Amino acid sequence: MLTQTTILLSRIALGGAFIFSGFVKAIDPLGSVYKLQDYFLAFGIPGLLSFALPLAVLLSTLELVIGLGAVLRIKMPFTALGGLLLMAFFTPLTLFIALTNPVPHCGCFGDAIVMSNWQTFYKNMVLLTAAVVLFSHRKKLKPLWSPKGDLGLMALLASMSVLLSLYCLHNLPLMDFRPWKVGSPVAQLAISPREEANVYLIFENTRTGEKREYPAHDYPWNDPQWTAQWTFRDQRKEFTRPPQEAAIENFYIQDAQGHDLTEFFLTQPGYLLIVVAHDLQRTSMEAFKDRITPLAKAAEDHGHPLIVLTGSSLQAVEDFTQAHQASYPFYLSDEIALKTIIRSNPGLVLMKEGVVRGKWAHRNILPLEKMLGGASSAGESK
């Protein structure tokens, strides 16, 4: 016989996890869309790609409603059944994903908490146990108020969840858990720290075969007698600061000739305006015409560089610039990295001294003076 404490803990665990998971998905519906599309492609079912958005909104709504229902004891027979069905579906699915590893992490908590596939499976085992406990004792969990209003309350919660997703889809996520959030020192995170090492050069005597090692800055390179007898063979490094990967992975700024300009732009003094259009074929043409082109002219007049980053091909860039007479520079980057930067196509990122100062969905781009005036305000600009 389970104690009331066990039932309470199960209700809090399942409800809390569902509320958190549903909320982080609801405020970032495009993040859930991208993750679902990754799964559809990995499982070989590209026909479902067009259903990713409604499925993302549906899943976040179900999780929020079931989670709040469990915590507030709303319609417990249906809430407990819904929680059990979801966990009965996702637990074996996450076991399969952990075994096959089709994608690096499940995205069950969005970008707020990144878990490995095995961690996700273990978490789901705990939640499945909690769901079984709630379902087994669902009839004993009485509502906090009159059951007559429960159905209307659940409908209200579902409507609010959908509206939240639509708002964040139309604008930007209310909360940003990604590395490019406002205030983030992107220049430090996206540029690999330079390695530091003592370098030693290894030379071989052409007559005797003897090998000697010299510091790279201190060997007799200007001695004709020595150079006639010794030949360079190899070098060795003793790292005082070993090579490291950048904290922000797969981000780069590359020109048409393949030159890497990431450090050049991210360490620009003053302001830098980055327009992110991860796919030029699907971007908003009206946004470029009505907002970005005038913004580029104003930025040029004030001496602030504006660049466009895209994951499209060079041919797509050429076709776009010719068709729309875009005079501002376009550069290439990784499409997935660009989707991580901002959930808008196009979107605008305002940088200053390598730090993100503001982000706007294309429909919310402000005149330059207003953006610069509010660049130091706290929080993410919409």
Residues with Cβ within 8 Å of residue 132, at least 6 apart in sequence: 84
Domain extents in the chain: 4-170, 196-241, 262-373
Residues with Cβ within 8 Å of residue 279, at least 6 apart in sequence: 310, 311, 312, 335, 345
pLDDT(377) > 60: no
Contact 121, 94 (CB under 8 A): yes
248-260 mean pLDDT: 92
pLDDT(1) > 60: no
- pLDDT of 382: 40
pLDDT(81) > 50: yes
Contact 270, 352 (CB under 8 A): yes
CA 116 to chain centre: 15
pLDDT(372) > 80: yes
Question: Does the pTM exceed 0.75?
Answer: yes
pLDDT(245) > 60: yes
Which CATH number describes the domain made up of 262-373? 3.40.30.10
Residues with Cβ within 8 Å of residue 161, at least 6 apart in sequence: 22, 26, 60, 61, 64, 65
Are β-strands 330-332 and 306-310 bridged in parallel, bridged antiparallel, or unpaired? parallel
Contact 40, 49 (CB under 8 A): yes
**Mean predicted lDDT score pLDDT of the chain:** 91
261: region left, alpha or beta (phi > 0 left; psi from -120 to 50 alpha): alpha
pLDDT digits (tens, 9 = 90+) for 106-141: 888 888 898 999 999 999 999 999 999 999 998 888
339-357 mean pLDDT: 95
CA gap 281, 320 in Å, rounded: 8
261-268 mean pLDDT: 93
Element (H, E) at 372: helix 368-373
Query: Looking at 100-104, 145-149, 347-351, which range is the least confident one?
Result: 145-149
Contact 85, 91 (CB under 8 A): no
Contact 344, 172 (CB under 8 A): yes
pLDDT digits (tens, 9 = 90+) for 148-206: 778 888 899 999 999 999 999 999 999 999 999 999 999 999 987 777 889 999 999 99
Residue 325: phi and psi, rounded to 5, are 50, 45
> Helices 4-26 and 117-136 sit at what angle, rounded to 10 degrees?
130
- pLDDT of 144: 73
- pLDDT of 2: 63
pLDDT digits (tens, 9 = 90+) for 201-223: 999 999 899 999 999 989 998 99
- pLDDT of 381: 42
Q: What is the largest CA-CA distance in the chain?
A: 101
Q: What angle do CA 310, 312, 318 make, to 5 degrees?
A: 95
pLDDT(242) > 90: no
pLDDT digits (tens, 9 = 90+) for 37-70: 999 999 999 999 999 999 999 999 999 999 999 9
Q: Is the omega angle on the peptide bond into residue 367 within 30 degrees of 0, that is, cis?
A: no
pLDDT digits (tens, 9 = 90+) for 290-308: 999 999 999 999 999 999 9
% of the chain exceeding 70 in pLDDT: 96
- pLDDT of 146: 67
What are the beta bridge partners of residue 359? 349
> What DSSP letter does each residue of 174-221 carry, written as one string?
SS--STTSTT--HHHHHSPPPPEEEEEEEEEETTT--EEEEETTSS-T
